[in-house]
Homo-oligomer: A and B are copies of this chain.
Amino acid sequence: MEALILDGRHLTLETLHQVVYDRRPVEIDPEALDLARKARQVLFDMAAEGHPVYGLNRGVGWNKDKEFDPDFFEQYNRNLINSHSLSVKPFCTVEEVRAMMCIRLNTALCGSTGISAEILTLYKEFLNRGIHPRVLRRGSIGEGDISTLSLIGQTMIGEGVVEYRGMTVPAIQALRAEGMEPAVMGPKDGLSIVSSNAQGESIVALVIYQTEQLLRESNAIFCLGLEGLNGGLQPLGRKVNALRGLPGQQTVAADCRRYLEGSYLSRPDPKRALQDPLSFRCGSAIGGTVLDALNFVKQYMEMQINATDDNPCIFADEGTTSVSQNFETTTLSLGVEMLASALAHLSKTICYRLTHLADPAFTGLSRFLTPVDVKVIAYCAIQKTFTSLDAENRMLANPSSMDFMAVAGNIEDHASNLPLAASKVLQILDNLRYMMGIELIHAAQAVDLRGRPALGRVTGPVFDAFRKEVPFLDADRNLSIDIEKAYRFIADGRLDAAIRQADTH
């Protein structure tokens, strides 16, 4: 894969995805590197002239009134890394660590940071050589992830621990294996490494990728469920949704129409209800709301991964600096929380779709989709499982962004809690995979009970792929095993692969 050139301005969510998941190599744009060097020179010049600069010759946070000399620079930056190594378990995944290194490298190339070229190069090398610092995940309040990103700083100076070639080893060992030397921290390098929202944003990156995939999967399962229900296609129509004009709803409805091309649902059936319950009728509107919320998140995320979040902010062209509020990421955090709420709607909608699929009054099929009344209990109690997960999702959709308190001598008196907000969405997404697995189980069973009529262009192959994993329920069996299989079918990407393949053919 061709190397991605990072210049502080052109990182997209798609290319970030490649760096994170596909280990696409990165290069630093020479002009951007020049600008970064220029920015650094500004700091040196100001310090030489005796100007107070936050984090350079003055302490950070409450210690902004503490002054120190250039000969203390290296020790100070080492101290800063140490004293800011403050996070707690669990550890971040490798994907998260790659995302945070790529994001921090890119934003440091905007020319407002003042970081040394040596450190910049280390980010690049770590990414390209697969040296992944072990970063503890919790501890940041999302107003600069200083307490977590510091653990990347540790490894750059040869301390701390990294994941390297599948093993957890001391950082120094990995550096040596690669013939590299630990960095020597210059002025403001410590602050430049830690003062960024890259950790919170790394979780947001995962949230975005996972939500995009999950929405595709959820739409396909919804469509298969509609076939299980023998439901109506009218609410998915092009024109009726165009008249409304809501962007997410239109896109999801179009996807669903494509997934259902050729389905028996397009043939008239006098037994079909005039209107279905809202969980089906409004299925693409609710999916559309997830998409609307996701697009808001993506919009702010793309701005942020291509802009400085440094304080002080250096104007390399002017040779000056400015105190800044650019580490503020509250809009993004609120967007993530809105996405959590949208997913909570999806969660509840899945629950209602599932209760309908088990209800003869709506399906005309057997109660709980049993193949044989009385003799087989089938999906009689499974509603407890998915509603219990829904209750957890409801809880995780409560906002946290405003639950901070003033720290550091009352000076740091605002926060966004971005890492917490984003982590909760990851948990919701995983719970949804279990719930969607159960939805798939029901939808497929209902389709089978109908004699497997003609299915849609995408739902057909999805059904077939799923049936290779979980067969028709003809007798009661340990359903926790079926649920786990259906979950894995989704979590391992096999469902998504089936959808994408069918959708492009």
A333-344 interface bits toward B, Cβ cutoff 8 Å, 1 = contact, 0 = none: 011011001101
Q: Are B478 and A381 interface neighbours, CB within 8 A?
A: no
Cα A304 to Cα B244 in complex, Å, equals 7
**Stretch among A61-69, A257-265, A446-454 lining the B interface:** A61-69
Q: Are A292 and B331 interface neighbours, CB within 8 A?
A: yes
A392-426 interface bits toward B, Cβ cutoff 8 Å, 1 = contact, 0 = none: 10111111111111111111111101011000100
Residue tally, chain A, CB below 8 Å to B: 161
Q: Are B289 and A334 interface neighbours, CB within 8 A?
A: yes
**Stretch among A28-36, A116-124, A270-278, A461-469 lining the B interface:** A270-278
Q: Are A300 and B410 interface neighbours, CB within 8 A?
A: no
How many whole Å from A11's CB to the nearest CB in chain B? 14
Pick from B313, B330, B417: contact of A289, CB under 8 Å: B330
Q: Are A381 and B54 interface neighbours, CB within 8 A?
A: no
Q: Chain B residues near A44: list those with CB within 8 A.
A: none
**8 A Cβ contacts from A288-324 to B:** 288-289, 292-293, 296, 300, 303-304, 306-309, 313, 315, 322-324
Q: Assess whether A434 is interfacial by the CB under 8 Å rule.
A: yes
Pick from B63, B307, B407: contact of A355, CB under 8 Å: B407
Q: Are A487 and B88 interface neighbours, CB within 8 A?
A: yes
Q: Which of A289, A335, A344 has the most CB of B within 10 A?
A: A289
Cα A345 to Cα B60 in complex, Å, equals 24
Q: Are B408 and A286 interface neighbours, CB within 8 A?
A: no
Q: Assess whether A385 is interfacial by the CB under 8 Å rule.
A: yes
Q: Assess whether A504 is interfacial by the CB under 8 Å rule.
A: no
A176-187 interface bits toward B, Cβ cutoff 8 Å, 1 = contact, 0 = none: 000000000000
Q: Assess whether A240 is interfacial by the CB under 8 Å rule.
A: yes
Q: Are B243 and A402 interface neighbours, CB within 8 A?
A: no
Cα A392 to Cα B375 in complex, Å, equals 44
Q: Which of A82, A315, A409 has the most CB of B within 10 A?
A: A409
**8 A Cβ contacts from A417-476 to B:** 417, 419-420, 424, 434, 475-476
Q: Chain B residues near A26: list those with CB within 8 A.
A: none
Q: Are B399 and A341 interface neighbours, CB within 8 A?
A: yes
How many whole Å from A229's CB to the nearest CB in chain B? 13
Pick from B80, B243, B325: contact of A307, CB under 8 Å: B243
Q: Assess whether A196 is interfacial by the CB under 8 Å rule.
A: no
A-B contact pairs, 22 of them (CB 8 A): A63-B367, A79-B475, A86-B382, A88-B483, A88-B487, A141-B384, A146-B381, A234-B324, A244-B308, A245-B306, A246-B304, A277-B412, A278-B411, A285-B328, A292-B334, A335-B338, A337-B341, A348-B404, A352-B406, A358-B409, A394-B403, A399-B399
